[in-house]
Structure 1
Amino acid sequence: MYSLAIFDFDGTLADTLPWFAEVFNGVADRYRFRRIAPGELEALRGVENRALMRHLGISGWKVPFIAAHMRRLAARDAHRLRLFDGAEPLLRRLHDTGVTVAIVSSNTEANVRRVLGVETAGLVAHYACGASIFGKHTKFRAVLARAGVPAGRAIAIGDEIRDIHAARRAGIACGAVTWGFALPDALKAHGPDAVFERFEEIAERLG
């Protein structure tokens, strides 16, 4: 059904939530917004992104600066970040069965490639990185144009509610994974076209 699979990176292919939780309060102190209290993160995983920003007191004008700082921290700590088990076999299977693989991420392409490793990075045909927090839909459209794939043959797969909204704005199908940042029930409430609980399910649906 799909000839193009566009993946989010952090929380979808890479297990970065523990790292995010570790560095978050330091970023909050630097940019003067609310820290996440011990035990609060789990509840916040069920909150939509704009509501989460309001809860933390993050002004919109600060978001690009916070995002740039997070990218620098990810570059510093890239040697500590790892793919989820099953991510590399999935990308290889899709590649080998003729599905074009792309990555659209708020992270930098350099960081993404470093975590993937040279061999796995070579399985990805298109990178569109450095997306703004609510700007992924423009990256999705750019990947569609580069790949020469009609919107009806593409699916975007991510771990956050904003990934679902971005796919809808770009006119493509969306799949949500249950092992990333947003809680499964929060994702399901926004009606993704598919919900994946294992990497193998993605391979079965796409490959």
Structure 2
Amino acid sequence: MQTKPDLIIFDFDGTLADSVSFFRALLPELSQKFRFRLPSHEEQEAMRGHPPREVMSSLGIPGWKLPMIAVYARKRARAAEAFPLFEGTLDLLDAVMAKGIPVAVVSSNAEAVVRRALGPEISSRISAWSCGAGMFGKAKHFRDVMKRLKADPARTLAVGDEIRDIDAAREVGICCVAVSWGFAPIDALKAARPDHAFDDGPALKAFLVG
């Protein structure tokens, strides 16, 4: 990047950590407990490229159930082993912060889960945390961390792996960087028109820190 950002906001699940397999394994339990249709493996793959509201409609999940499902999923995540980080995650975060760029984490997951995965050294250097974001509530959390860190939206980036990350970034007027190694496939991400999209970690690191 030619201009040093005021702030880089990272998503956690599917962006920094490989937690997709955990949530897929949890899906049958969630389906039974909250009484929605369990999709086949083939359907799950196809749904990766669909907007969240379309997926909810297909599975028969009303909006009022989402907070309960999210609370239960976070509880199960806290009880699980630490999620594995994608290769190069700690090096990426270290390189960004070594450049003097503040880093925030905005996640639907619990802060304790994210801290456990990142470890105490990197976690202690994160400038702001805003976790427990709802399915469609990330824009509010983006605004919160920008306000706390006095970051200019025009000089703030959000890095995420889902269409809803792109939508939230666009809602608050910040640059969106999409990555393809998480939930949504690269074609679906590009169709949502992020400002930038990357297929691999080294390319993302080169873009963020040069």
Q: Please report how far the alpha carbon of residue 54 of structure 1 lies from its aligned counterpart in structure 2 after TM superposition.
A: 0.4
- SS of the aligned residue for 2:105 comes to strand
The aligned counterpart of 1:122 is 124
Q: Please report how far the alpha carbon of residue 202 of structure 1 lies from its aligned counterpart in structure 2 after TM superposition.
A: 2.1
Q: Please report how far the alpha carbon of residue 80 of structure 1 lies from its aligned counterpart in structure 2 after TM superposition.
A: 4.3
Whether 1:58 aligns to 2:61 is yes
Q: Please report how far the alpha carbon of residue 30 of structure 1 lies from its aligned counterpart in structure 2 after TM superposition.
A: 0.4
Aligned AA (2:180): T
- SS of the aligned residue for 2:85 comes to coil
Aligned pairs (5 A) from 1:72-87: 72-77=75-80, 79-87=81-89
The aligned counterpart of 1:166 is 168
Aligned pairs (5 A) from 1:37-186: 37-77=40-80, 79-186=81-188
Distance 2:46 2:133 in 1: 26
The farther-off stretch of 178-187 and 35-44 is: 35-44
Q: Please report how far the alpha carbon of residue 116 of structure 1 lies from its aligned counterpart in structure 2 after TM superposition.
A: 1.1
Distance 2:132 2:126 in 1: 16
Please give the root-mean-square deviation of Cα atoms over the aligned residues, in Å: 1.0
Deviations 1:103-154 (A, max 9, x none): 0001111111111111121231110111111010011011111111100110
Indicate the percent of aligned positions where both proteins have the same amino acid.
45
Instruction: Answer yes or no: is the 8 Å Cα contact 2:178–2:189 preserved in 1.
Output: yes
Instruction: Answer yes or no: is the 8 Å Cα contact 1:91–1:123 preserved in 2.
Output: no
| TM-score, with structure 1 as normaliser | 0.97
Whether 1:12 aligns to 2:15 is yes
Q: Please report how far the alpha carbon of residue 94 of structure 1 lies from its aligned counterpart in structure 2 after TM superposition.
A: 0.2
Instruction: Answer yes or no: is the 8 Å Cα contact 1:3–1:98 preserved in 2.
Output: no
Distance 1:104 1:147 in 2: 14
- SS of the aligned residue for 2:41 comes to coil
Residue 203 of structure 2, aligned match among 191, 201, 204: 201
Structure 2 gaps of 5+ residues are: none
- Aligned residue pairs: how many? 206
Aligned AA (2:123): A
- SS of the aligned residue for 1:40 comes to helix
Aligned pairs (5 A) from 1:19-38: 19-38=22-41
Q: List, as ranges, runs of 4+ consecutive aligned residues in structure 1 with deviation greater than 2 Å.
A: none
Aligned AA (1:126): A
- SS of the aligned residue for 1:39 comes to helix
Distance 1:18 1:110 in 2: 19
Distance 2:102 2:185 in 1: 28
Distance 2:163 2:137 in 1: 13
Deviations 1:28-74 (A, max 9, x none): 11000011213322111111111010011101000000000000010
- SS of the aligned residue for 2:69 comes to helix
Instruction: Answer yes or no: is the 8 Å Cα contact 1:109–1:130 preserved in 2.
Output: yes
Distance 1:136 1:17 in 2: 19
Structure 1 gaps of 5+ residues are: none
